[in-house]
Structure 1
Amino acid sequence: MTGNPLINTAVFVAFLLVTLFVVYRAGNRNSTTVDYYAAGRGLSGPQNGLAMAGDYLSAASFLGIAGAIAINGYDGFLYSIGFLVAWLVNLLLVGELLRNTGRFTMGDVLSFRMRQRPVRAAAATSTLAISFFYMVAQMAGAGGLVALLLNVHTRWGQALVIIGVGLVMIFYVLVGGMRGTTFVQIIKAALLMLTITLITVFLLGKFGFSISAIMEQAAAHNPKGTAILSPGVEYGKTDLSKLDFVSLSLALVLGVAGLPHILMRFYTVPNAREARRSVVWATWTMSIFYLATLIVGFGAAALVGTDAILAAPGGQNSAAPLLALHIGGTVLLAVVAAVAFATILAVVAGLTLAASASFAHDVYANIIARGRARPGAEIRVARISAVVFGLLSIAGGILANGQNVAFLVALAFAFAASANLSTILYTLFWKRFNTSGTLWGIYSGLISCFALVVLSPTVSGSPMSIFPHLHFAYFPLTNPGIVSIPVSFLFAFLGTVISRGHSEPRRQAEMEVRSLTGIGS
């Protein structure tokens, strides 16, 4: 039972119309590439920090982690820890330097002192691949969420839902650009924090403000019993599962600093000081959120029950909405589902914007047009590529429907850490790093990560695989980060020391001064 579909739909549509109006109004000022890609660089640190939180707190955070905690307890909460700790890398190593060095995309930074065309092509390839995998996770979450909201149980019905979500997201990007997307992300972050805080306070009050009481009842309603209160339910049974957890942790902690849609947000503020403030605001916001997911996840297991969660449309991803239905009835379910849907829309809009900006700015403007593209033409190419990318992500979301979205996002983090982190850090901190090292690092990370994912139990060989009836799972780990991330760092190093690749000392010195001081940015 998922409440009254008519009430659910009414709240859902009202929320959708409000956000569409906000996007339309904000998008009227998109007259230049700076407006479309970077919101005119006019956002303050707190504004951009909330938007970063809105961009980052995806379906994986709200739906996937709550479900993982409800089913696997302690091991599910490990996702929250990894997602949050990762922001220290952004704060201490990446955020300020990227803001000072680039203009719109990661390709601006990587190509600053390298050969422009091959490096920008590699950066665009990496951005498109990572954004696609991240987008697939969001689309899968959208399918399960709206299926629960409208009580749609068939795969074809959920596929139609994913198509609808994708089309709305494409409209957001085409009309709103970065400014419209930012305002939706700020609204969504505020509503998400308000909703999860109220649910958390209610749950604590219902159990006498005793977290132990919530956990005890959760264990009683979970077939795994008190085992969910300790490590090992998901990742501690064998040495292989422990190694899989280490691989997952590496991907989560190191992946954020390579996510294109997060890196792009650093260019929306006027200076490096506001970039640092952005990360601080985002980190505090997400700290509160992830602590609340612990209560929501165990609360869902305690009040709804593990069996009911797994039997609902969307499986694990339905834990938070079903908890809302249990404690607040149909109206609260509709509100939670609408907020979660806004979460998905805001994230996929940010991903689509990052992917389309990378293609238009790095490939079209700087490779095809050789830096002589007119701003109007560049924005037009960005919008066309947003449509194409959106349609591809819809197809991927249909294929991945039913997978836990937190798990799928962890794969996207592995791609980001494997392809981008090594080249970003080497570019910013290693004077000798050159074009060959950049290309070796990006492509080795992408290829190794993709090959290991294809050969892992994620794709085949188990009942939870994308293709459960096939078997070519020759790589035993579900997350490839422990192999593909070191491969990228090693190949980037070897590509640099073996070759006499292109790296201009004058440009390197300029980049060092600019990244550390902000002069010229």
Structure 2
Amino acid sequence: MKVLADGTATGNPLINLSVFVLFAAVTLYIVYRVSNGNATTSDYYAAGGAFTGAQNGIALSGDFLSAASFLGIAGGIAVHGYDGFLYSVGWVVAWLVGLLLIGEMLRNTGRFTMGDVVAFRMRQRPVRAAAAISTLVISFFYMLAQMAGAGGLVALLLNVTDRAGQSLVIVVVGAIMIFYVLVGGMKGTTWVQIIKAVLLLLCVTLISVFMLGKFGFDFSAILDRATQNNKLGTAILGPGAQYGRNELDFVSLALALVLGICSLPHVLMRFYTVPDAKQARRSVVWAIWTMFVFYLCTLVVGYGSAALVGSDAILHAPGGENSAAPLLAFRVGGAVLLGVVSAVAFATILAVVAGLTLAASASFAHDVYANIIKHGKADPRREVRVARQTAVAVGALAIIGGIAANGQNVAFLVALALALAASANLSTILFALFWKRFNTTGTLFSMYGGLGSCLVLIIFSPVMSGASTSLIAGADFHWFPLSNPGIVSIPFSFLCGVVGTYVGGRKGDPDKQAEMEVRALTGIGARI
């Protein structure tokens, strides 16, 4: 058993590592068995559309229930209370956007990537290039959160406190993730997501039941103890502990959370793994219910961590806020439960980053290589080979970025990725699906305008400099006051799309527009 400097026990590192290695070995074997070569683009990108709505819905929840959900939100609730739970509320509500506006039409209109939809009735080359750039940037930011979570988790579970040791583990996690993508493609990655989602849900439910049992199944008793073990006291039971000094920052964060989920490239790509639009809708319904149960449990886990572990012990543990759930697991279930939690948390990081890597590599290979470089006449086997080569490059960048971002709250980092996704993709997708006048110029304006403005505001915000938690310590070149730029960049992207459409003047191909409308609304002619 390892004991930290503050006296917090973290269990037996050998057990923690053994359970994770067992999980990794089993999932690697499953990925290898279900891959079947993945010779065609349909197999590699979309698993041949062979998954049911229930299977894909659980995989969707697995795709999104990331290190931010499991580690970041539990830690946010334990330290900041009510304000930490706002991430959960935003993320559950966000799926209604996918259910009501995007999921069915996207499945009917596209084939493998977001670029298929936004470029359907536009000039192919510039629009697909913009879609690929957007996908790569958003995926990279999202990967930073997951890889940072890997570093913080191993710091806690194996008591590796030096950055060199944590960096080594991030490299190992990245290498396994790359294997998932190279060998398994979408089919293998989907099965890993399903296994991981089921284990994660069982894990948080088990911890929640154990936690409630310790307090006689009285949640009020947990809240009362939590206020005693948190330096903020009763302030953690109401809003304002984290965002009380800047309500505008909270509104900006909420916009990014609600509008960013179904704009994420790896989430959008999941709608193509089912055979039809009906199964796409079922996927979202299954995902909503799965995440509803999960986030209710994180409320118990978060406040339970404050009650039994205490906010000071959490903040001083390796991994900071991200250590709340593992520390609570050890308190209520000992070394074995902590080993299970550690394995599930590692699996969460592996599976989500694998999904992101697949989305990024598919976008480059399908949109850039196949449709821009080869003008839509690429050999399918060669395209899959390019996708695999891109996956290696993207995985390497994720490893480097994760090492740089190690120690940051993963939920906070994910919020930045969501702001980028909502700014670059949401307006473009909605305009492409619902606005007949929308044209190529408007598409480029909305995508580049949203992505560019969001990146600029992040660079010159307290995220990068000017605050104690900034990525660049000791520097101060920020002029934008908000930590999340969504409240500015998301409306700006819609405005750019409107301005670009009218500036461009020329409408898109009316025949293509009519075809897209019929296909999106009815599914007639949808590509399988």
Name the TM-score, length of structure 1 as normaliser: 0.99
2:519 to 506, 511, 514: 514
How far, CA to CA, are the matches of 2:73 and 2:333 in structure 1? 21
Alignment partner, residue 447 of structure 1: 452
Q: Is the contact made by 1:63 and 1:320 (CA closer than 8 Å) also made in structure 2?
A: yes
Alignment partner, residue 473 of structure 1: 478
How far, CA to CA, are the matches of 2:32 and 2:155 in structure 1? 27
How far, CA to CA, are the matches of 1:189 and 1:7 in structure 2? 22
Q: CA deviation at 1:28?
A: 2.3
2:157 to 137, 149, 152: 149
Name the amino acid aligned to 1:260.
Answer: P
Q: CA deviation at 1:346?
A: 0.7
Aligned with 2:217: secondary structure?
A: coil
Alignment partner, residue 83 of structure 1: 91
Aligned with 1:31: secondary structure?
A: coil
How far, CA to CA, are the matches of 2:202 and 2:315 in structure 1? 27
How far, CA to CA, are the matches of 2:439 and 2:506 in structure 1? 5
How far, CA to CA, are the matches of 1:413 and 1:263 in structure 2? 13
Q: CA deviation at 1:502?
A: 5.0
Q: Does 1:297 align with 2:302?
A: yes
Alignment partner, residue 189 of structure 1: 197
1:94 to 102, 109, 123: 102
Alignment partner, residue 345 of structure 1: 350
Alignment partner, residue 248 of structure 1: 253
The within-5 A match list for 1:295-444 is 295-444=300-449
Q: Is the contact made by 1:115 and 1:502 (CA closer than 8 Å) also made in structure 2?
A: no
Name the amino acid aligned to 2:96.
Answer: L
Unpaired stretches in structure 1, ≥5 consecutive residues: none
How far, CA to CA, are the matches of 2:513 and 2:145 in structure 1? 38
Give structure 1 regions of 4+ aligned residues with deviation exceeding 6 angstroms: none
Q: Is the contact made by 2:65 and 2:348 (CA closer than 8 Å) also made in structure 1?
A: yes
Aligned Cα RMSD in Å? 0.7
1:458 to 449, 463, 468: 463
Q: Encode CA deviations 1:49-88: one digit per residue, 9 max, x unaligned.
A: 0000000100000000000000000000001001111000
Q: Is the contact made by 1:247 and 1:479 (CA closer than 8 Å) also made in structure 2?
A: yes
Alignment partner, residue 490 of structure 2: 485
1:288 to 277, 286, 293: 293
The within-5 A match list for 1:183-262 is 183-236=191-244, 238=245, 241-262=246-267
Q: How many residues align?
A: 518
How far, CA to CA, are the matches of 1:501 and 1:452 in structure 2? 32
Q: Is the contact made by 1:414 and 1:480 (CA closer than 8 Å) also made in structure 2?
A: yes
Q: Is the contact made by 2:362 and 2:387 (CA closer than 8 Å) also made in structure 1?
A: yes
Name the amino acid aligned to 2:144.
Answer: V
Q: Is the contact made by 1:436 and 1:502 (CA closer than 8 Å) also made in structure 2?
A: no
Q: Encode CA deviations 1:219-242: one digit per residue, 9 max, x unaligned.
A: 100011111001100001x3xx10
Aligned with 1:95: secondary structure?
A: helix
Deviates more, 1:205-214 or 1:177-186: 205-214
How far, CA to CA, are the matches of 2:500 and 2:360 in structure 1? 27
How far, CA to CA, are the matches of 1:106 and 1:251 in structure 2? 19
Q: CA deviation at 1:3?
A: 1.3
Distance 1:29 1:43, change over 3 A: farther
How far, CA to CA, are the matches of 2:36 and 2:105 in structure 1? 31
Q: CA deviation at 1:423?
A: 0.5
Q: Is the contact made by 1:255 and 1:416 (CA closer than 8 Å) also made in structure 2?
A: yes
Q: Is the contact made by 1:114 and 1:502 (CA closer than 8 Å) also made in structure 2?
A: no
Aligned with 1:388: secondary structure?
A: helix
1:32 to 32, 40, 43: 40
How far, CA to CA, are the matches of 1:449 and 1:243 in structure 2? 16
Q: Encode CA deviations 1:356-392: one digit per residue, 9 max, x unaligned.
A: 0000000000000101100000000000000001111
1:140 to 142, 148, 170: 148
Q: Does 1:496 align with 2:501?
A: yes
Q: Is the contact made by 1:65 and 1:79 (CA closer than 8 Å) also made in structure 2?
A: yes
Q: CA deviation at 1:501?
A: 3.6
Name the TM-score, length of structure 2 as normaliser: 0.97
The within-5 A match list for 1:262-281 is 262-281=267-286
Unpaired stretches in structure 2, ≥5 consecutive residues: 4-9
Q: Is the contact made by 2:437 and 2:507 (CA closer than 8 Å) also made in structure 1?
A: no
How far, CA to CA, are the matches of 2:171 and 2:112 in structure 1? 29
How far, CA to CA, are the matches of 1:184 and 1:115 in structure 2? 37
Q: Encode CA deviations 1:83-139: one digit per residue, 9 max, x unaligned.
A: 111000000000000000000000000000000000000000000000000001000
How far, CA to CA, are the matches of 2:499 and 2:12 in structure 1? 60
Alignment partner, residue 131 of structure 2: 123
Q: Encode CA deviations 1:226-263: one digit per residue, 9 max, x unaligned.
A: 11001100001x3xx10000000000000012100000
How far, CA to CA, are the matches of 2:30 and 2:308 in structure 1? 36
Deviates more, 1:428-437 or 1:161-170: 161-170
Q: CA deviation at 1:203?
A: 1.1
Q: Is the contact made by 2:39 and 2:384 (CA closer than 8 Å) also made in structure 1?
A: no
How far, CA to CA, are the matches of 2:21 and 2:171 in structure 1? 16
Q: CA deviation at 1:29?
A: 4.3
How far, CA to CA, are the matches of 1:264 and 1:230 in structure 2? 37
Q: Is the contact made by 1:43 and 1:268 (CA closer than 8 Å) also made in structure 2?
A: yes
The within-5 A match list for 1:45-56 is 45-56=53-64
Q: CA deviation at 1:7?
A: 1.5
Identity of aligned residues (%): 70
Q: Encode CA deviations 1:334-366: one digit per residue, 9 max, x unaligned.
A: 100100111111100000000000000000000
Name the amino acid aligned to 1:116.
Answer: Q
Aligned with 1:267: secondary structure?
A: coil
Q: Is the contact made by 1:47 and 1:278 (CA closer than 8 Å) also made in structure 2?
A: yes
Q: Encode CA deviations 1:448-497: one digit per residue, 9 max, x unaligned.
A: 00000000111111111111111111111000000000110001100001
How far, CA to CA, are the matches of 1:440 and 1:174 in structure 2? 34
